[in-house]
Each structure stands twice: as C-alpha cells, then as structure tokens.
Amino acid sequence: MELQARCFCVIALLLVAGLETAHGAGECGRQPADRVALKLAPCAAATQNPSAPVPASCCAQVRAIGRNPKCLCAVMLSGTARKAGVKPAVAMTIPKRCAIANRPIGYKCGRKGPPL
C-alpha cells in the first residue's frame, strides 16, 4: 500500500511538472513560436526575396517580436515558418531592412544560424 502511494505521488509530480513545462515560458513567453510566427504573415514575400519591399505592418511585428531576440530566432526557424517557405538567411535581414535601430546586430540564431 505504501509503495502504491509513493508511485502515485511520483506520477502526480511528473504530471504537474509536465503541465508546467507545456504552459510555462518558452522563447516567446507563454505563446509557442509557431503561433507567434502567424503574426508575421505580412512578411511573407520579404522572407523569401531580399529585394522585396517590407510592409510597415511586417516591420511593426518584427519590432515587437524582436525585443526578445531568442523569440525572433525561434519564430524565424519554426516549423510554421519553414512550411511557409521562409528562407532564414533572408528573414534575418528584415530587422535591418525595416531600419530597426535597436536590433541585436550580430546575434546568431543557434550555432549556425545567420546573424540578425
């Protein structure tokens, strides 16, 4: 009986820890990077073509998300972005193309990612 109680406590603890991880803060706070990536829909053409104009609505979203460079990297490298045809090397040029002054210059997304 004592063994069953211990097992129950361990399982309950693992479940609580798993739920906290699922709802805890990630790179983009409480929202998954894939959900935040949807906010960058106005940037679609600019993430695929370095010569495409960057709409003001895209710059506004990049400015907001870019306050957290880890989140911006997670979004640019997310599954949603990949499925949408985002070219990470081109996408990482958007903060500069938007003339965002306080962008994290030289910040690398992962070990091999292009700099912002």
Does residue 33 have a pLDDT over 60? yes
CA–CA gap between residue 88 and residue 81 (Å, rounded): 9
- Please write the tens of the pLDDT for every residue from 65-112: 988 989 988 998 899 999 999 998 899 899 999 998 877 667 777 665
DSSP symbol at 48? T
Residue 104 lies in a domain: no
- Total tally of structural domains belonging to the chain: 1
The pLDDT, as a whole number, for residue 2 is 55
Residue 13 lies in a domain: no
Residue 93 lies in a domain: yes
Residue 14 lies in a domain: no
**How distant, in Å, are the alpha carbons of 16, 54, 55, 64, 114 from that of 21?**
9, 35, 35, 24, 28
Does residue 14 have a pLDDT over 80? no
- Please write the tens of the pLDDT for every residue from 16-32: 334 344 445 689 999 99
